[in-house]
């Protein structure tokens, strides 16, 4: 039996990493691997976050002493998340455990380039201490292989996939999941909605997520976008109902790894309009199961939305292919088998 400690944000927290961990907790079962979960972060006051972090360190030490721990699997992104996780790397190595760092950050390269030389050296030294680096796409695999000497493995995110495609092709609701920000292309989408004008007023665009709410509200008000709603953060129970009633999902991001939002919506047969960045082209085959544009191209974004709203048959064809693509490549069962094999090989 392989004993694995998994460290990351609490599974009830907001964000893609928490969703990945929640999926592990819900679906990963094995007679050969046992996972012990440690939450190192959760929303709350600064003092509460410090307590969560210190508590996670104590739990890691306790498990390392009392259990025969083979692997410490650490989830991280960039900025403070990475620096905090360096402490866990050092503790795990102190107890002679194998360590894998699961990199989710879509802006890690930008973050790294902005660090002073001495911090870049510290980051690379810690990356070289690892036994494995886990990334979400081949592009990121190449990046980390050029940055450090640690073996890099691609393990895509995965989602639960309904057996039958539940897509509602007569819906009038277009959704976007993710933080409201320039990086996610939120303001590009608002400009595209404005340019669509009265011809598509019957469709409601709902932005689900947290972030720069006040700026988005101001732009919506200034441009009188009466068919745009800010839906706030969505809990998992609400998301199922939203997914069953969405016509399209639009995520015109500037930087991504492999977004859970795209996988979750495609699993429900919802055609996606997104950008040709990060790991997104691994799952969206342009013109086949969704549409891809270049980030920042508001004109092309407008055209892509209009094209799909105008063509019900194309939407249905894309929906069928989207559901099949996630079912075959990114289902939880297929992914959990890969994880079990990887844990066993270490």
> Does residue 285 belong to any structural domain of this protein?
yes
Residues 61 and 134 in one domain: yes
**Is there a single domain that holds both residue 338 and residue 315?**
no
Kindly state whether residues 134 and 196 are assigned to the same domain: no
- Asked if 48 and 96 sit in the same domain, the reply is yes
For residue 334, pLDDT over 90 is answered with: no
pLDDT of residue 28: 96
Same domain, residue pair 149 and 226: no
pLDDT at position 50 is: 97
| Same domain assignment for residues 69 and 14 | yes
- 236 falls in which pLDDT band (50, 70, 90)? confident
Query: Cα separation of 9 and 74, whole Å?
Result: 10
Structural domain contains residue 162: no
Q: Domain of residue 63: give its range.
A: 2-156+331-345
Residues 206 and 87 in one domain: no
**Which CATH number goes with the domain that contains 235?**
3.40.50.2000
Q: For the whole model, what pTM was predicted?
A: 0.85
Q: Same structural domain for residues 52 and 78?
A: yes
Let me know whether 317 and 240 are in one domain. Answer: yes
Q: Which residue has the tokens 């690892």?
A: 130
Per-residue pLDDT reduced to its tens digit, 133-173: 999 999 899 999 999 999 999 999 999 999 999 999 999 99
**pLDDT for the residue numbered 253:** 97
Question: How many structural domains compose the chain?
Answer: 2
- 210 belongs to a structural domain: yes
Does residue 166 fall inside a structural domain? no
Q: Give domain status of residue 168, yes or no.
A: no
What Cα–Cα distance (Å) separates residue 118 from each residue in 64, 101, 111, 149, 165?
Answer: 31, 21, 14, 18, 51
- Rounded to whole angstroms, the Cα distance separating 329 from 341 reads 16
Same domain assignment for residues 100 and 188: no
Look over the chain and give the mean of its residue pLDDT values, rounded to a whole number.
96
On whether both 178 and 322 belong to a single domain, the answer is yes
d(Cα 335, Cα 118) in Å, to the nearest integer? 37
Residue 102 in domain: yes
Whether residues 205 and 278 fall in one domain: yes
């Amino acid at each position: 039996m392989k004993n694995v400690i998994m460290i990351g944000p609490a599974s009830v927290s907001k964000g893609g990493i928490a969703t990945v961990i929640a999926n592990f907790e819900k679906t990963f079962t094995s007679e050969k691997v046992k996972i012990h979960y440690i939450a190192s972060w959760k929303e709350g006051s600064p003092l509460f976050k410090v307590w969560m972090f210190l508590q996670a360190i104590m739990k890691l030490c306790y498990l390392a002493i009392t259990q025969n721990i083979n692997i410490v699997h650490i989830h991280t992104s960039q900025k403070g998340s990475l620096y905090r996780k360096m402490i866990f790397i050092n503790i795990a190595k102190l107890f002679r455990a194998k360590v894998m760092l699961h990199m989710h950050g879509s802006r890690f390269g930008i973050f790294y380039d902005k660090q002073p030389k001495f911090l870049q050296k510290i980051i690379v030294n810690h990356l070289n201490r690892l036994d494995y680096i886990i990334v979400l796409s081949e592009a990121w695999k190449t990046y980390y292989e050029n940055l450090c000497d640690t073996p890099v493995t691609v393990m895509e995110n995965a989602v639960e996939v309904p057996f039958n495609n539940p897509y509602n092709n007569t819906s009038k609701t277009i959704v976007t999941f993710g933080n409201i920000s320039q990086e996610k292309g939120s303001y590009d989408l608002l400009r595209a909605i404005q340019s669509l004008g009265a011809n598509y007023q019957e469709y409601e665009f709902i932005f689900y997520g947290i972030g720069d709410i006040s700026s988005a509200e101001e732009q919506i008000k200034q441009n009188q976008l009466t068919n745009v709603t800010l839906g706030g953060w969505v809990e998992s129970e609400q998301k199922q109902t939203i997914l069953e009633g969405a016509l399209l999902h639009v995520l015109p991001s500037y930087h991504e790894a492999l977004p859970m939002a795209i996988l979750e919506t495609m699993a429900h047969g919802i055609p996606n309009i997104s950008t040709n960045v990060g790991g997104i082209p691994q799952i969206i085959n342009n013109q086949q199961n969704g549409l891809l544009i270049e980030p920042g191209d508001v004109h092309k974004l407008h055209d892509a939305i209009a094209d799909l709203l105008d063509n019900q048959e194309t939407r249905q064809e894309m929906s069928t292919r989207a559901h099949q693509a996630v079912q075959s490549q990114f289902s939880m069962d297929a992914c959990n088998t890969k994880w079990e094999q990887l844990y066993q090989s270490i």
